[in-house]
Structure 1
Amino acid sequence: MLTVYGMSDSGNCYKPRLLLSLLDRPFRHVEVSTRDGSTRTAEFLKRNPAGQCPLLELDDGRLLAESNAILVYLATETPFLPDDPFERAQTLRWMFFEQNAHEVSIAVRRSLSVYPERAGVATPERMALTLQNGLNALGVMERHLADHAWFGPGRPSVADIALYPYTATAGDGGFSLEGFPSVRRWLADLEALPGFQPVGWAPTEAA
């Protein structure tokens, strides 16, 4: 059985859990956290020297880190990752956008807002910068979604799953989605997919 090591309250760790639920694939969740030091133990560092989660362990013991790499692996040969090279590249493009523009602003501002231990680095300048950059990222998404149902090629894809968690929880970082109707429609459509589980969900036993 697949094992996903991750934090229940991390959007990045939620991504593979959501995809596995949408695919109706059984897996085991093991709670680890960058906040309590459990990803910095010698045992965990043997699994991922970067000391980060999520981390996917395959049945044969192979290990894969980085949330979007895990999504691509799990989605291969499923409807969530296109076979056509150009459509696949377009899907990956949005996943790169998520990491390079979206996550570094919206997720970071959320982290600075909700984790007390990060209050010391939540300077007014950094909060203002992440707010503006996050609004810019949401604007890019809004313009795309005004003419497209999904970030995948006409259907839900790993790009949608990558972008969903920190968009859905953007309010935690002080972002309002009121001015982004297409983004709000997209969130509702993804939440209506069979097998959807909300942000923060993790099975307590083998699914």
Structure 2
Amino acid sequence: MTIPVLHDFPLDPRCYSVRLTLSLMEMEHTTVPVDVFPGAKHLEGRYRELTPTGVLPVLETGEQMLVGMETILMHVVAGTVWMPPDDRWLRFASGPLEQVYVCRERSLFTTDPIDNHGARAVLQEVDDHLAVSLPDGDWLAGDRPTAADLAVYPAAALSRDIGIDHDAYPGLRRWMRLIKQLPGFVEMPGIPVFP
């Protein structure tokens, strides 16, 4: 059996979603760090062949080369309890949530001013869903944690990097604490283990 290889940038929340999922699923894998900043290695050589736009993460399974968080998550959780009932929140993580990722990348890697209004609106949508749609539930897509939660979690947890305080989002805060309590939870720079 081939051990999957994850090509990963440790500071990228999309890559972290995959690392977190693999850890919670106790899926054996090898991680190969990619020097995205300042090296831009994801835009040259082998990575340019795999993903012309430089999208990470990339997961080599032995049979397939999977590119991008949503594709990888859908593949690794297929047929498991981590599979969400629909792909709404996975699409949300690859779509509207990109506003949070882009704002954070600008904050971390440039001196450009950031405008976090779009990111705030996106996080408010998640908070509203958790606080209103699921008053007795704890998870984005039902009564148990799924890859949907793991896809959205990093952007929410790292939003302080762009000046968004979690105090304004009670549903989000409660949900993030629950994710940190899952067996196998792993941290990343900027996301401590303690609740």
Residue of structure 2 aligned with 1:65, choices 61, 64, 67:
67
Residue type of the alignment partner of 2:41: S
Residue 134 of structure 1, CA deviation: 1.4
**Identity rate of aligned residues, in percent?**
27
Residue 200 of structure 1, CA deviation: 4.1
Residue of structure 2 aligned with 1:81, choices 77, 80, 83:
83
Residue by residue, what CA displacement relative to the aligned partner does 1:36-76 show, whole Å, maximum 9, x if unpaired? 1211222222232332211000123x201011110010000
Please, what TM-score do these two structures have when normalized by structure 2? Answer: 0.88
Residue of structure 1 aligned with 2:43, choices 7, 26, 40:
40
Which structure has more relative contact order (CA 8 Å, sep 6+)? It is 1
Greater helix content:
1
Indicate the residue corresponding to 1:171 in structure 2: 160
Q: 1:22, 1:194 within 8 Å by CA — same for their partners in 2? A: yes
Q: Work out the number of aligned pairs and report it.
A: 183
Please, what TM-score do these two structures have when normalized by structure 1? Answer: 0.83
Residue of structure 1 aligned with 2:11, choices 3, 9, 12:
9
Indicate the residue corresponding to 1:93 in structure 2: 88
Residue of structure 2 aligned with 1:50, choices 42, 49, 53:
53
Tell me which stretches of 4 or more aligned residues in structure 1 moved more than 3 Å.
Answer: none
In structure 1, list runs of 5 or more residues that go unmatched.
Answer: 202-207
Indicate the residue corresponding to 1:153 in structure 2: 142
SS in 2 for 1:80: coil
Answer yes or no: is 1:114 the counterpart of 2:99: no
**RMSD (Å), alpha carbons:** 1.6
Residue by residue, what CA displacement relative to the aligned partner does 1:54-100 show, whole Å, maximum 9, x if unpaired? 1000123x201011110010000111114xxxx32xxx111222222
In structure 2, list runs of 5 or more residues that go unmatched.
Answer: 191-195
